[in-house]
Amino acid sequence: MALIPVVYYSYHPALHKQGAPVTVFDDALRQLVRDMIETMYHENGVGLAAPQIGISKQIAVIDVSNERDKPFCIINPVITEKTGLEMMEAGCLSVPGTYDSVSRATWVKVRAQNENGEFFEIEGDGLLGHCLQHEIDHLFGKLYIDYLSPLKKKMRLKQMEKALKAQRFK
Binding site for Ni ion (CB under 5 A): 92
The CB-of-88 to Ni ion minimum distance in angstroms stands at 13
Which residue's CB is nearer to Ni ion, number 3 or number 26? Answer: 3
CA atoms of 61 and 45, how far apart (whole Å): 10
The CB-of-116 to Ni ion minimum distance in angstroms stands at 25
4-39 burial by CB neighbour count: b if 16+ within 10 A, else e? bebbbbeebebbeeebeebeeeeeebeebbbbbbbb
CA atoms of 123 and 107, how far apart (whole Å): 7
The CB-of-26 to Ni ion minimum distance in angstroms stands at 26
Question: How many C-beta atoms lie closer than 10 Å to residue 156's C-beta?
Answer: 21
Which residue's CB is nearer to Ni ion, number 43 or number 117? Answer: 43
Which residue's CB is nearer to Ni ion, number 91 or number 117? Answer: 91
E-strand ranges in the chain read 47-49, 59-62, 72-83, 86-90, 100-104, 107-113, 119-125
C-beta nearest to Ni ion: residue: 92
Which residue's CB is nearer to Ni ion, number 25 or number 147? Answer: 147
Pick the catalytic residue from 43, 81, 118, 135. Answer: 135
118 annotated active-site: no
The CB-of-137 to Ni ion minimum distance in angstroms stands at 8
Locate all alpha helices (DSSP H) within the chain, ordered by sequence: 27-42, 126-139, 150-168
Q: Which residues are catalytic?
A: 135
